[in-house]
């Protein structure tokens, strides 16, 4: 393990709460320098006071504004140095039952969860390609594996992220950039507390951060957790639709 003062710079987007907040504090404690971004300036400023002195700086931004994202990346690189790892973790969630079908919700979640990542990649790729190195991690979700009841807007955005990462990975690898996807299961955050059902294999944000940090240097494409839940869901991906829908209705009572 490298000494604390030899670690590089991580740009962490979506750092103000949940997994992002826990990850920012864990990375800073482990010796990384962290450029923490989110929309809520106040939350970021509180985060700075909780991290080891000098390890974390706040860079507020709205990922739905591409020019703002580009400007922040340029300023981070100018003020803090080259971004070694980017963790694109900004996300939004709202369950939606059929009776509450809402076009605006689909648009909002896709704009934050999917286009927000696209905007970050647009800002990052020129500098990473010029250097011929770097690592980009995109936070998707196990909800992107297959469609789940009341998760149509959210699951669609996360499935799109998984497809995006799979599509870009080969070319980015040839350019020297490691593109990876993070697929968490249920994590106890303000967003998942909107769920009205018991969430299996629920873990804390700190546990999620531990899973991610523990895999930063192993080079695999997917970081997913918790393991037993992941294998169950991946098995369900292989089922024919008739059996899959039967099990989903039985488990969710829909």
Q: Are 80 and 45 in contact, with CB atoms under 8 Å apart?
A: no
Distances (CA, A) of 69 to 11, 40, 51, 121, 169: 12, 15, 24, 10, 22
Closest CA to 120 of 164, 171, 67: 67
Q: Which residue has the tokens 């809520």?
A: 40
Axis crossing angle, helix 116-131 with helix 66-80, rounded to the nearest 10: 40
Residue tagged active-site, from 93, 154, 241, 244: 154
Within the chain, what is the greatest distance between any pair of CA atoms? 56
Is the four-CA dihedral 200, 225, 69, 64 of positive or negative sign?
Answer: negative
* Cα–Cα distance measured from residue 217 to residue 202, given in angstroms and rounded to the nearest whole number: 25
Question: Per the structure block, which two tokens stand in for 32?
Answer: 């990384």
Residue 154 catalytic? yes
- Catalytic amino acids? 154
């Amino acid at each position: 393990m490298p000494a604390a003062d030899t670690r590089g710079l991580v740009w962490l987007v979506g750092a103000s709460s949940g997994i992002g907040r826990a990850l920012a504090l864990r990375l800073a404690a482990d010796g990384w320098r962290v450029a923490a971004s989110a929309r809520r300036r106040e939350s970021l400023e509180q985060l700075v006071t909780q991290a080891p002195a000098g390890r974390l700086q706040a860079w507020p931004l709205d990922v739905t504004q591409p020019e703002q994202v580009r400007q922040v990346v340029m300023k981070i690189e100018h003020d803090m140095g080259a971004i070694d790892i980017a963790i694109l973790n900004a996300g939004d969630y709202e369950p939606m039952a059929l009776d509450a079908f809402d076009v605006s919700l689909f648009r909002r979640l896709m704009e934050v969860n999917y286009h927000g990542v696209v905007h970050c990649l647009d800002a990052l790729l020129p500098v990473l390609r010029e250097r011929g190195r770097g690592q980009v991690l995109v936070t998707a979700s196990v909800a992107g594996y297959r469609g789940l009841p009341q998760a149509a807007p959210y699951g669609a955005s996360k499935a799109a992220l998984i497809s995006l990462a799979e599509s870009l990975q080969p070319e980015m690898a040839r350019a020297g950039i490691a593109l990876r996807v993070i697929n968490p299961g249920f994590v106890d955050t303000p967003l998942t507390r909107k769920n009205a059902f018991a969430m299996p294999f629920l873990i804390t944000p700190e546990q999620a951060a531990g899973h991610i940090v523990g895999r930063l240097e192993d080079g695999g494409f997917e970081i997913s957790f918790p393991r037993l839940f992941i294998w169950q869901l991946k098995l369900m991906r292989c089922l024919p639709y008739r059996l899959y829908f039967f099990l989903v209705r039985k488990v969710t009572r829909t």
